């Protein structure tokens, strides 16, 4: 661990954080244009091509808004809550592997030489990545709760209490639905999970090898129930529409961020979109093969790239570059599904939400766990 | 006590654990708010967890980890019951300071 | 050296927030600093390479138990707390002395018994997934009875907590 490595890691963490922040205005644009598309409207289309510069106009507006703090509020917590809202998403994104690692050749810089490195396209290669991500994102209940309480507004408080109860309840279903995935791949390591999904569908059944070469070897074919449960739970975790009870504007004005305006409001948005990004990335990693291209193995891609380019370091870099874009493409697809669902489905009632979480998702995820155990036993039984 | 500043050994973790335990004990003795007393008890339980994990890691023995699981489960159970009791008390007395419900005091 | 720096940093965070829990009169700040302390302890477990325990600590303590505490404190809305600390100079001095005394006794005993051992013991680095496998094997073989008892305890607690929270005051109902 020399100085250069520390420097590279620091830069990487900052870059990933900035990436997460920069995706948010784009997502806001997609959300507005997408909702307009779904509702047969035009949406923002005046500023710049396709309304893309609307993002800049929005940013200027957010910064110039009046700084408003309710008189009866608790000032410290009122300012602390939006800052905390950034944390869970930011910390969780660090553990997500975006692509394959590639090497950096040794080089001379400022008179001293630095050895060859292997650069992970990932904030930090954290052991037990899943557990880390769940642990960090379970902290997401605090900012909402604090924001609701510190505003000293009844609607805010109710929104905050609803949000935290919802987050705690759905975390159970979320955790239990992933147990099947962990048992299937036999690891907690996100990179190992992606590596296990390379190639074509093949599994063992009572000791016989069964190959289905017309399908990729993705988790969704092994865990269909788990996928549905997980996908429903991440909607609830990120407080998005069918489950956006904390900010149900028909009943609670705007829920926990009623009293927030300008940039503080934007920070809550960034937190929410951070949750969406992490959730979509986890869906891609668990169930849709991570950065792998269906029907193309890593060796195949490497040989394809080396037909046109040569170089010990260039080829892995290009492979990693292609994989990064595949991952981002899959991620974008799921982020679009988030937007699509938001503008298509009506909101649940609060008691319906709770009974869905506790009486439907949790028992089904336990059932999925037992089913997976039986299948794993059947696969390895002679 | 701190044999060498640069290296961290088992004793550092144990002393941290002891300090945390004593802070928790101080809170239980000094505070009069039932909720804060519950929180101090959680602190003491966590102090014990630190020493379990440290011992387990330095002795290369996994029994300590299992104990941490049990402590965590019991602590969560204790918090749930304690908070339910606190809510029940608050409903009846509109107060959570333990000085205000000393009816059983002889 | 990096290990020492991270240890002292984490230790400082844990102890400072733990002190804030007991010394700050407003219970809402106590609850939040306890959450910070729990997160710090999770970081400490992480640095001890007990990754699984660290994750469970975050999910169970920082993510669930402390959220419950914060929720209950917020529901009570205790803004002005009367008599947060125990009264009487004598009792305060006595309690403080007792706590410090116990800490110094433990620390003294530790420093005496660890004069040679201490830092010489290095942590054996192991494969993490394997250690989780061993952990679960241990949980389901050697400690299986305790595990079952824990399950019964948790069921009892669920029933008890719901009964307590829903109670209308029992025989003394107003």
The pLDDT tens digits of the residues spanning C35-54 come to 899 999 998 988 887 888 88
Share above pLDDT 90 across residues of chain A, in percent, rounded to a whole number: 3
pLDDT averaged over chain A? 82
Indicate whether B1 belongs to any domain: no
Lookup: tokens for B62: 């996994």
Nearest to C64 among A126, A131, A168 (CB): A168
Residue B77 belongs to some domain of the structure: yes
Tell me how far apart the alpha carbons of residues A249 and A210 are, in angstroms, rounded to a whole number. 52
**Any idea what DSSP says for residue C172?**
G
Q: Which residues of C touch A145 (CB under 8 A)?
A: 67, 70-71, 74
Closest CA to A99 of A19, A28, A177, A27: A19
- Which three-class secondary structure state does DSSP give residue A343? coil
Average pLDDT over residues A318-333: 88
Provide mean pLDDT across the span A245-256: 71
Structure tokens at A358: 């506790």
Query: Which pLDDT value is given to residue C79?
Result: 61
CA A152/CA A148 separation, integer angstroms: 7
pLDDT value at position A30? Answer: 86
Question: Which of A74-83, A222-231, C108-117 has the least mean pLDDT?
Answer: C108-117
Strands A117-119 and A200-205 turn out to be unpaired
Q: What is the DSSP letter of C123?
A: P
- The residue-averaged pLDDT of A276-290 equals 88
Q: Is the dihedral of CA C16, C21, C23, C26 positive or negative?
A: positive
Query: Across residues A2-19, what is the average pLDDT?
Result: 81
- Max CA pair span of chain A: 71
* pLDDT tens-place string over residues C53-64: 888 888 888 888
For the residues of C23-52, what is the DSSP string, one character each? H-SSHHHHHHHHHHHHHHHHHHHHHTT-HH
Asked if the structure places residue B90 within a domain, the reply is yes
Q: A103 - beta bridge partners?
A: A118
What local confidence, expressed as pLDDT, does residue C80 receive? 61
Residue A266: band (very low, low, confident or very high) from pLDDT cuts 50, 70, 90: confident
pLDDT at C120: 46
At a CB cut-off of 8 Å and minimum separation 6, what does C84 contact? B31, B32, B33, B36, C25
Q: Touching check for B42 and chain C: CB below 8 Å?
A: yes
Q: Does residue C152 surpass a pLDDT of 90?
A: yes
**Residue B21 counted as domain residue:** yes
Residue B105 located in a structural domain: no
H-assigned helices in chain A? 3-38, 54-64, 75-93, 129-137, 141-150, 154-185, 190-196, 224-237, 249-252, 262-287, 298-308, 314-342, 350-355, 362-380
Residue ranges of domains in chain C: 1-78, 128-168
Contacts of C164 (CB under 8 A, 6+ apart): B81, B84, B85, B87, B88
CA distance A25 to A53: 10
Contact (CB, 8 A) for A239 and A166: yes
Output the pLDDT for position A141.
84
Residue B2's pLDDT is 44
Counting the structural domains of chain A, the total is: 1
- The minimum CA-CA distance between C9 and chain B, rounded to whole Å, is 12
Closest CB to B81 among C82, C157, C172: C157
- Structural domain span for residue B57: 10-100
| Percentage of residues of chain A with pLDDT beyond 70 | 95
CA A223 to chain centre: 19
Separation between Cα atoms, residue A112 and residue A153, nearest integer Å? 60
Instruction: Quote the CA–CA distance of A128 and A148 in Å, as a whole number.
Output: 33
| The pLDDT of residue B45 | 92
pLDDT tier for residue C12 given thresholds of 50, 70 and 90: very high
Where does the pLDDT of residue A367 fall: very low under 50, low under 70, confident under 90, or very high at 90 and above? very high
CA pair distance A336, A331, nearest whole angstrom: 9
Strand-strand pairing, A112-114 and A107-109: antiparallel
Q: Touching check for C35 and chain A: CB below 8 Å?
A: yes
**What would you report as the CA-atom Rg of chain C, rounded to the nearest whole angstrom?**
21
Minimum Cα–Cα distance from C38: chain B residue: B46
pLDDT band at A272 (very low <50, low <70, confident <90, very high): confident
Q: Between residues A212 and A319, which one has the greater pLDDT?
A: A319
C150 lies within 8 A of chain B by CB: yes
Are A99 and A121 a contacting pair, CB within 8 Å?
yes
Phi then psi for residue A104, to 5 deg, are -120, 125
The count of domains in chain B is 1
Taking 60 as the threshold, does the pLDDT of residue B80 lie above it?
A: yes
Q: CA torsion, points B83, B89, B90, B92, in degrees to nearest 10?
A: 150
Q: Is residue B54 part of a domain?
A: yes
Determine the 3-state secondary structure of A147 from DSSP. helix
- Shortest distance between the Cα of A76 and any Cα of chain C, in A, equals 10
C interface test, pick of B34, B52, B79, B101 with most C CB neighbours within 10 Å: B79
pLDDT at B3 over 50: no
Q: Is C132 on the interface with A (CB under 8 A)?
A: yes
Q: How confident is the model at residue C25 (pLDDT cuts 50, 70, 90)?
A: confident
CA torsion angle for A259, C35, A271, A91 (degrees, to 10)?
Answer: 160
Whether this prediction's pTM lies above 0.90 is answered by no
Cα C66 to Cα B43: distance, rounded to the nearest angstrom: 11
Is the pLDDT confidence value at C127 over 90? no
pLDDT over 70 at A5, yes or no = yes
Q: C1-78 domain in CATH 1.10.3720.10?
A: no
Residue of chain A whose alpha carbon sits nearest to that of C62? A139
For residue B57 the two structure tokens come to 């890691």
Cβ B73–C150 below 8 Å, yes or no? yes
Note whether B61 contacts C: Cβ–Cβ < 8 A.
Answer: no
Backbone angles phi, psi at A216, to 5 degrees: -75, 160
Q: What are phi and psi of A113, to 5 degrees?
A: -95, 150
> Is residue C150 a contact partner of residue B73, using CB atoms and an 8 Å limit?
yes
- Give dist(CA C52, CA C58) in Å, integer: 10
In a domain, B44, yes or no: yes
The closest alpha carbon to A357, from A171, A111, A87, A103, belongs to A171
**Closest by Cα among A191, A210, A216, A225 to A288:** A216
Count of B-C CB contacts under 8 Å = 233
The minimum CA-CA distance between A151 and chain C, rounded to whole Å, is: 12
pLDDT at C153: 92
* Mean per-residue pLDDT, A329-348: 87
Res A313 pLDDT > 90? no
User: Contact A284/A331 with Cβ under 8 angstroms?
Assistant: yes
- Any domain includes B3: no
């Amino acid at each position: 661990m020399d100085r250069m490595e520390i420097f590279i890691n620091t830069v990487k963490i900052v870059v990933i954080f900035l990436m997460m922040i920069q995706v948010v205005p784009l997502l806001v644009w997609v959300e507005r244009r997408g909702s307009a598309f779904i509702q047969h409207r035009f949406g923002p289309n005046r500023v710049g091509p396709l309304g893309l510069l609307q993002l800049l106009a929005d940013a200027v507006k957010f910064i110039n808004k009046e700084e408003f703090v309710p008189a009866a509020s608790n000032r410290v917590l009122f300012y602390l809550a939006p800052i905390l809202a950034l944390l869970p998403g930011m910390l969780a994104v660090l553990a997500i592997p975006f692509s394959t690692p590639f090497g950096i050749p040794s080089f001379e810089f400022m008179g001293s030489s630095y050895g060859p490195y292997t650069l992970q396209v990932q904030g930090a290669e954290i052991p037990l990545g899943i557990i880390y991500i769940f642990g960090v994102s379970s902290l997401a209940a605090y900012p909402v709760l604090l924001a609701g309480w510190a505003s000293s507004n009844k609607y805010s408080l109710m929104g905050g209490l609803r949000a935290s109860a919802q987050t705690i309840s759905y975390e159970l279903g979320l955790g239990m639905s992933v147990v099947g995935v962990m048992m299937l791949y036999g690891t907690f390591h996100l990179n190992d999970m992606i590596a296990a999904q390379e190639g074509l569908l093949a599994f063992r059944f009572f000791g016989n090898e069964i190959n289905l070469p017309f399908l990729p070897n993705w988790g969704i074919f092994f865990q269909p129930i788990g996928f549905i449960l997980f996908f429903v739970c991440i909607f609830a975790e990120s407080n998005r529409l069918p489950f956006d009870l904390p900010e149900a504007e028909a009943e609670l004005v705007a829920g926990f961020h009623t009293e927030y305006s300008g940039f503080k409001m934007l920070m809550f948005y960034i937190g929410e979109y951070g949750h969406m990004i992490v959730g979509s990335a986890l869906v891609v990693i668990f169930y849709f093969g991570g950065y792998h291209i269906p029907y193309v193995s890593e060796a195949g891609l490497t040989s394809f790239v080396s037909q046109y380019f040569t170089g010990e370091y260039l080829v892995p870099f290009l492979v990693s570059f292609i994989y990064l874009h595949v991952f981002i493409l899959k991620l974008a697809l799921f982020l679009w599904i988030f937007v699509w669902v938001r503008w298509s489905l009506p909101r649940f009632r609060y008691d319906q939400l709770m009974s869905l979480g506790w009486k439907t998702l949790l028992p089904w995820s336990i059932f999925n766990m037992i089913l997976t155990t039986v299948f794993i036993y059947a696969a390895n039984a002679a | 006590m701190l044999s060498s500043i640069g290296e961290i050994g088992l004793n550092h973790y144990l002393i941290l654990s002891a300090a945390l335990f004593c802070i928790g004990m101080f809170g239980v003795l000094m505070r009069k708010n039932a909720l804060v007393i519950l929180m101090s008890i959680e602190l003491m339980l966590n102090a014990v967890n630190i020493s379990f994990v440290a011992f387990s890691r330095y002795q290369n023995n996994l029994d300590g980890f299992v104990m941490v699981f049990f402590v965590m489960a019991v602590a969560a159970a204790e918090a749930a019951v304690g908070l339910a009791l606190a809510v029940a008390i608050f409903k009846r007395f509109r107060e959570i300071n333990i000085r205000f419900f000393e009816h059983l005091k002889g | 050296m990096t290990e020492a720096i991270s240890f002292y940093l984490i230790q400082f965070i844990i102890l400072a927030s733990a002190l804030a829990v007991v010394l700050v009169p407003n219970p809402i700040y106590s609850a939040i600093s306890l959450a910070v302390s729990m997160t710090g302890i999770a970081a400490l477990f992480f640095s001890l390479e007990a990754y699984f325990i660290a994750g469970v600590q975050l999910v169970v303590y920082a993510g669930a138990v402390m959220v419950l505490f914060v929720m209950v404190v917020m529901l009570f809305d205790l803004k002005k707390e009367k008599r947060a600390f125990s009264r009487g100079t004598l009792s305060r001095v006595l309690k403080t002395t007792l706590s410090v005394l116990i800490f110094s006794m433990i620390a003294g005993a530790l420093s005496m018994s660890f004069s040679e051992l201490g830092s010489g013991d290095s942590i054996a680095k192991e494969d993490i997934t394997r250690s989780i496998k061993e952990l679960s094997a241990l949980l389901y073989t050697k400690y299986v009875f305790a595990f079952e008892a824990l399950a019964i305890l948790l069921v009892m607690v669920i029933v008890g907590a719901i009964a307590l929270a829903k109670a209308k005051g029992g025989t003394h109902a107003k």
